[in-house]
Chains A and B, each alone.
Chain A
Amino acid sequence: MTQIVIRIEDLCKTYFMEGGTKQDVLKHVQFKIQKDEFVAIMGHSGSGKSTLMNILGCLDRPTSGNYFLEGKNIAQATDKELAIIRGKRIGFVFQNFNLMMKRSLADNVSLPLIYQGVGQKERYKKAVELLEKVGLKGYENRLPTQISGGMQQRVAIARSLVNNPAIIFADEPTGNLDTRTSVEIMNLFTELNKQGITIVLVTHEEDIADFAKRLIVIQDGQISYDGPREDYKT
């Protein structure tokens, strides 16, 4: 039996701007994502991809609609509840890596564990383990400034894995990387996905989306395509 990790129903997001104008960024969006899926979200700039990712990643709340994460409706959860969910169930990979530049790679990777009350030694051990997993064995005491962008993104991926999340969200993870490095990162994601980790990523590039099994296309706040990657024709 497959397990549903994410289910959104009739999800809407409206931004209310100063001066009384409002903008409907997401309009009645719905889909399910099952465990082990590898989903790419595409769409034109301003179509609402990041807005959707922020809601899925529990950084933001929908204006209306339901969001079930692992069966629990968290559409109207409090900030505190969302922080706990992010800390325990969600991993993030950002376009600009968002590493702490003055801290060692081990400190960076193990950062989320601080908020889970994990002790220093245990954190370091976990960080070393995960750095090895993303191909950065022996790099634990380096600083982010001493490694390349591709390596930095690997560190960020290691960090996203450290709390054994149900799902990893990556908003344009290859946006700041060259083609070759992008492929390396995507191979890493594919590898992780094979190991049973659910991945949702946003991208502009067809080539990147090719790594995913499923594609969701958003157009003007609505889903215009949702199906296998290979069936989508531009």
Chain B
Amino acid sequence: MIWQILREAWVSISAYKMRSFLTMLGIVIGVAAVVLMVAAGQTVQNEITKTFDSMGTNLIIIAPAETVSGGVRGGRGRPSVTFDDVAALRELPDVETASYVISTAAQAVYGANNYGVSIYGTTPEYLKVGNWEIEDGMSFTEKDLKSGKPYAIIGQTVVDELFGLQNPIGKTLRLRGKPFTVIGVLKSKGDNLMGNDQDNIVMMPATTVRQRLKGSNRPQYADIAFIKVTQEDRMESVSNRAEFLLRQRHRLKEKAPNDFSLHLMTEMVEKVRQIGFILSMLLAAIASISLVVGSIGIMNMMLVSVTERTREIGTRKALGAPNKWIMLQFLSESILISFIGSFFGMILGVLLSQIGGALYEIDVPISIWSVIISASVAIIVGILSGMMPARKAMKLDPIEALRYQ
């Protein structure tokens, strides 16, 4: 019986081609929008994960404490972690390594070229902490750090902007008029999530930055420090030990607040992922408004159809159609429309998301969600929007329906 009903439904739909097509289009657009938005959301989440992976997730970041005055949060306090603090942290159990950064920025000059760059004064361990690799040349050493050698390791962008096709190794670039010898080139990392170019970087020994670029009356203090933990499940314990150690070294009284703040990268990753997830749900919710509009379209078409075909319904009933059959036939029509619409909407959505991904050179996942969404839309929308018209058809009195002009 179900095949007979579906066949009748199909023949009826195809009898009104233009109208059925336009109604389907509403669902096509709605499903395509939802699939597209879900793909966009997933892409954002994937990119977030990728960015964090490129930084390494087993990181504890030690920043200056937030200043609190009168209960109001201010900005960051002044740096409170010293180079020696970091050396001590490095010796804690489960710590793979630790490093720190003094950051500044300047215009880098080579020959006639110049370019604004970020400068990281750091230790040789920073490469490991930040998941950086040397592509060409070499890193500076502990010895270079001690003696404050004017050595620089530069990112791909700096290479491109200053040296073009020349080999930068051994060349001298100038920052604030002072010369630095390029000894290494970093492997490219590309943009981070915020669109910042991670390759626009010049790394050098922290001591060198202090002496030549960013002097301070407290030269032994780092702007920010990093601990790389061996395993993710040790993050908590290392964080606790680090806090204890730093309080001890800073001679803080029992009730005094920390003069530094610890941030677990794993927690930050989790937070950002959650935001990404909420964002993608929000996008999908907005897109599904178009689905609602589409299903109203189906309902409207079905109501018109029932009215137009009142005589047909009366005839069918007179010729022995059970009420249930009439209802199922009209319900099948709306389900069929939403089913076909959803199918093509899914294809369109996947296609558009792949084209978008290709244009922006991002991997866009084709997820099982698009299939799940379209299949459930097909059934739910079909039933919801077909129910009322189908019941209306079912309840028609055959005598009155046959008299209908």
Q: Which residue numbers of A lie inside 8 Å of B, CB to CB? A: 54, 57, 59-60, 79-80, 83-84, 86-88, 92, 94, 98, 100, 102-103, 107, 111-112, 114-117, 120, 159, 163
Least CB distance, B131 to chain A, in whole angstroms: 66
Least CB distance, B312 to chain A, in whole angstroms: 6
B263 within 8 A of A: no
Which residues of B have CB within 8 Å of A117? 1, 4
Least CB distance, B333 to chain A, in whole angstroms: 14
Bound complex: CA of A84 vs CA of B402, how far in Å?
18
Given A54-B399, A98-B402, A103-B15, CB of A86 within 8 Å of CB of B312: no
Contact (Cβ within 8 A) B323 A83: yes
Bound complex: CA of A69 vs CA of B319, how far in Å?
17
B318 within 8 A of A: yes
Least CB distance, B209 to chain A, in whole angstroms: 82
Least CB distance, A143 to chain B, in whole angstroms: 10
Nearest-neighbor residue (CB-CB) of A94 within chain B: B402
Contact (Cβ within 8 A) A92 B319: yes
Least CB distance, B75 to chain A, in whole angstroms: 74
Residues of B292-349 whose CB lies within 8 A of A: 311-312, 314-323, 325
Contact (Cβ within 8 A) B7 A83: no
Bound complex: CA of A86 vs CA of B316, how far in Å?
10
Contact (Cβ within 8 A) A83 B1: no
Contact (Cβ within 8 A) A83 B321: yes
B8 within 8 A of A: yes
Contact (Cβ within 8 A) A120 B11: no
Least CB distance, A165 to chain B, in whole angstroms: 10
Least CB distance, B60 to chain A, in whole angstroms: 72
Nearest-neighbor residue (CB-CB) of A118 within chain B: B4
Bound complex: CA of A111 vs CA of B315, how far in Å?
10
A60 is contacted by which of B8, B16, B316, B399 (Cβ under 8 Å)? B399
Residues of B381-405 whose CB lies within 8 A of A: 398-399, 402
Contact (Cβ within 8 A) A114 B318: no
Given A86-B317, A102-B15, list of 4 further CB < 8 A pairs? A59-B399, A60-B399, A114-B8, A159-B319
Bound complex: CA of A84 vs CA of B321, how far in Å?
8
Bound complex: CA of A103 vs CA of B316, how far in Å?
13
B315 is contacted by which of A98, A114, A120 (Cβ under 8 Å)? A98
Nearest-neighbor residue (CB-CB) of A86 within chain B: B320
Which residues of B have CB within 8 Å of A60? 399
Contact (Cβ within 8 A) B11 A103: yes
Q: Which of B15, B318, B325, B398 is most buried by chain A, counting CB atoms within 10 A of its CB?
A: B318
Given A59-B399, A102-B15, A103-B15, CB of A112 within 8 Å of CB of B311: no
Given A98-B311, A103-B15, CB of A111 within 8 Å of CB of B399: no
B318 is contacted by which of A59, A84, A102, A116 (Cβ under 8 Å)? A59
B320 is contacted by which of A94, A102, A103, A163 (Cβ under 8 Å)? A163
A80 is contacted by which of B1, B319, B323, B398 (Cβ under 8 Å)? B323
Contact (Cβ within 8 A) A112 B1: no
Contact (Cβ within 8 A) B318 A92: yes
A112 is contacted by which of B11, B320, B323 (Cβ under 8 Å)? B320
Bound complex: CA of A46 vs CA of B26, how far in Å?
49
Contact (Cβ within 8 A) B319 A59: no
Contact (Cβ within 8 A) A115 B312: no
Nearest-neighbor residue (CB-CB) of B315 within chain A: A98
Contact (Cβ within 8 A) B320 A83: yes
Nearest-neighbor residue (CB-CB) of B398 within chain A: A59
Least CB distance, A111 to chain B, in whole angstroms: 6
Bound complex: CA of A161 vs CA of B135, how far in Å?
89
Contact (Cβ within 8 A) B7 A115: no
Bound complex: CA of A111 vs CA of B313, how far in Å?
12
Bound complex: CA of A111 vs CA of B318, how far in Å?
11
Which residues of A have CB within 8 Å of B8? 114
Given A98-B311, A98-B314, A102-B15, CB of A111 within 8 Å of CB of B319: yes
Nearest-neighbor residue (CB-CB) of A89 within chain B: B320
Contact (Cβ within 8 A) A114 B399: no
Least CB distance, A121 to chain B, in whole angstroms: 12
Least CB distance, A125 to chain B, in whole angstroms: 16
Contact (Cβ within 8 A) A83 B317: yes
Which residues of A have CB within 8 Å of B321? 83, 87, 114-115
Which residues of A have CB within 8 Å of B1? 117
Which residues of B have CB within 8 Å of A120? 4, 7
Which residues of B have CB within 8 Å of A107? 11
Bound complex: CA of A107 vs CA of B323, how far in Å?
20
Nearest 9 pairs between A and B by C-beta? Answer: A87-B320, A102-B15, A112-B319, A98-B315, A115-B320, A86-B320, A83-B322, A115-B321, A59-B398
Nearest-neighbor residue (CB-CB) of A104 within chain B: B11
Q: Which of B15, B311, B398 is most buried by chain A, counting CB atoms within 10 A of its CB?
A: B398
